Chain A
């Protein structure tokens, strides 16, 4: 009995000494990272965080999904006002102007420099970098998950109308959709007209055609920018989409109606869709057995001198008010994400594109784009780098852009429901959007974008 007791005491003593020794072996610095991805994508982020934590002993990142981009920003603002903000937060593309004026961040380039990391910012694809940089080119946040819109086309359906290539111009799209309709296809093309689709219908279209969305170079040159999508080529585009919708060449597909665009395409119901390259993996995983499909760059009107499409997705912001130790960890984490190997892991598992040239080259070198499920994703890079970004294709810098997108959805619905004409709808979009911009400007009197 006493032997057992002694043995237990020895074990207990041993345990205690081990437990006491642990803190001495450098407790890692913990810091928070909040992000807006969920489901499958959130699991990939979690794995990435785990990989980072296992790669070194000094820091431990605690990654928490906030559900979606909107909620992430809302929760971060609430936390910031209460002084409990995370060190790093993922903010979607259109939140950039709001973030820039928040005064609540630590510039990413400064953070990296202070902590001894040399990042070659020229390595980022220019279309991606400029979205998140100041007008002087300083990187305030780190591009993270990036994408752009592509046209997904069903090769079998196009074969039926004697085509082996995706249409390159919108004129061709009209003719091809009609031919498919004549060949008996119920839904030649699917679109959605919700607020979020502003991204590919209004923003991508405008960039590719080098058409402004707002004055002052899409807002880069001042908070007094105002919308002008009611007098650009965009009017023609909406007119054509509406015409094709009325002729039954386009169907509206959304989750609310039972089946979203991606499902409609993957199931073979609809033959053409335009959506993010981020959906490439989903289509591949859920497609109808034996269906042949491919992706192509979004079409442009005949005679257009094609420009780069816009980046979508989100970037990572480092918030102000954290300790130096946490900033050290945040810098190490951003450096880890910047690594081409992490880019390969990230892109393989999500469909998002690598954000740096070195990441892209590394993936090409690994033969990534030659493999079956990933083939075609390089089209997104081609689209993003189709040209050197112009003053208006480098991005959009408008305050409260979420509300403007909501207004876009509202007016598109009014147009497609025949409540207003195309011109009336877009005029209202501009009028209401300007009021939103006006309000943003009033909220930040005397301030200018960095």
Chain B
């Protein structure tokens, strides 16, 4: 796994994102409240530059009329058709089969371990080393 230094931390303050190309792959790196996440910047649906979408929260409902809005700023919504992905894992929320299980993992996982077949955006692991943001892929 190669490590790529992409920016000094102060170039990527909380709430910002950086787009880059690594080994021919479009990547976006996010700083969400001091945590860093990397995502392949290509939507698995029709190929839009996924990470140009807005960061939103996750709307869920256990019963009609009950709406929970969590994971604020952690869900990326595709700029084209609005499919939602968890930037921590790349997991999609629009695969209906997932809605049936009713359990939504909220814990942090290393991105590379969560490639679960269709409708999963490719993730890359990001970590901070000294004062630089480093992407592994």
| A and B are partners in one complex rather than unrelated chains | no
